[in-house]
Amino acid sequence: MIDIKIVDKYLEDLGNPDPKYWPAARYELVKLGTDVTEFLIKFLKHKNPVMRGRVARILGEIGDKETVPFLIDLLKTDKDSYVCSSAASALGEINDSRSLDILIEKLSVKEPKVRKESAMALGKLQDTIALEPLMKYYEKSSGEEKIWAIYALIKLGKSELVHLLEDNLKEDVLLAAITVAGHLNLTETVPLLLELLGISKDVKFRIEIIKSLAQTGNPLVREKLEYYYGQCRGEERIWVIYALCKLGDRDKAGVILDVLERDVRKASAMALGETGNKDSCGVLLKALVSDEGELRYRAVQALQKLGDIKILEHLEHALSVESETYIKLAIEEAIGSFKKGEV
């Protein structure tokens, strides 16, 4: 039985102009799942467009197909570009063929955000009916939009377009191209990505490159990153270690343990969860008593991914002393996963 007062509090936080409130509210509402979709649907008519957009994205994360008609109507009728782009994104997450026509229609609207999100959503639907409209959209688009058009077309089977993505890796849409290369695990882009890693002056680009390289399974990448590791610092170094672990160097996880208590703690916790190295559990358990709530939250997520049943009693203790609701929910989810054998 859902406590309406709690849901109302989450919804209040969701609309709070202070950005520190709504991510936790989003997490908790998504956790409640289909039990709250009926409440959320009503807020698609809220007078505040930020609220409408955030609710739409939450409905997409919940993935309840019963919400598709409401999201389609929102995309059709709302005049706010943020709301429409959120509705398109949500429809892509739910992946229901009923949204195909409206997403194709929105490829030709004036708002770039709406066009881009619609193209991305059509890529996720993977219905070949969208091929011709997406090709037309690709031909008319530029910059980051063109990259996501290529992404959608590749997802729909146009693998020969990979070379277009490679070409755009050299142009002014680097971040989008790098991200798409990672999503599609394009080993053909490895030489270009390694070249960009060496010349880019923007750390956010370099981190995205490293994340993409981590997916390749390429021995050459591991060799290059081992050299690069000695030249980088801070959060970037953590993601290099993450990539090396993904590429088979499990010993590198120990290096993350050494920096977890310093200036890149949250990144370290996330990376540790991705490595799969259960030896990391001890230091992550220590992070559960940190004064920093976000670090505790990241540590719980990492521990759940590592899936060591031996830490169950530690998580149960952490649950008994935790004061933050969103962290308690994360711990409960991790404990449930352990008990069901889902990890």
Q: What is the pLDDT of residues 95-130, one digit of tens each?
A: 999 999 999 999 999 999 999 999 999 999 999 999
Q: What is the pLDDT of residue 162?
A: 67
338 against 40, higher pLDDT: 40
Query: Is the model's pLDDT at 90 over the cut of 90?
Result: yes
342 against 159, higher pLDDT: 159
Domain 1-154 has CATH 3.30.450.20: no
90 against 322, higher pLDDT: 90
User: In 3-state terms, what secondary structure has residue 172?
Assistant: coil
Q: What is the pLDDT of residue 166?
A: 52
Q: What is the pLDDT of residue 256?
A: 52
230 against 68, higher pLDDT: 68
DSSP structure class, residue 75 = H
> Over the stretch 249-300, which tens digit does the pLDDT of each residue have?
756 555 554 444 444 566 667 666 766 667 778 778 888 887 778 888 888 9
pTM summary value: 0.54
User: In 3-state terms, what secondary structure has residue 20?
Assistant: coil
Structure tokens at 245: 């672990």
Amino acid at 126: Q
Q: What is the pLDDT of residue 85?
A: 95
Contacts of 303 (CB under 8 A, 6+ apart): 273, 281, 284, 285, 311, 315, 334
Please give the helix or strand (H or E) that residue 169 lies within, else none.
Answer: none
Judge whether 186 and 195 are in contact, CB under 8 Å: no
Structure tokens at 230: 């000695």
Query: Is the model's pLDDT at 62 over the cut of 90?
Result: yes
**Dihedral, 234, 235, 236, 238 alpha carbons, nearest 10:** 100
Residue with token string 């949500």: 90
93 band by pLDDT with thresholds 50, 70 and 90: very high
Query: Is the model's pLDDT at 165 over the cut of 90?
Result: no
**Dihedral, 10, 14, 15, 16 alpha carbons, nearest 10:** 90
> Over the stretch 94-103, which tens digit does the pLDDT of each residue have?
999 999 999 9
Rounded to an integer, what distance in angstroms lies between the CA atom of residue 77 and that of residue 72? 9
Amino acid at 85: S
Q: What percent of the chain has pLDDT over 90?
A: 29
Q: What is the pLDDT of residue 49?
A: 92
Q: What is the pLDDT of residue 67?
A: 96
> Over the stretch 166-194, which tens digit does the pLDDT of each residue have?
555 444 455 666 666 666 666 667 777 77
Contacts of 86 (CB under 8 A, 6+ apart): 52, 53, 54, 56, 57, 60, 117
Q: What is the largest CA-CA distance in the chain?
A: 57
> Which among 329, 262, 278, 279 has a CA at the least distance from the CA of 300?
329
Chain centroid to CA 36: 22
Between the alpha carbon of residue 48 and those of residues 17, 82, 117, the distances in Å are 11, 11, 21
Q: What is the pLDDT of residue 106?
A: 97
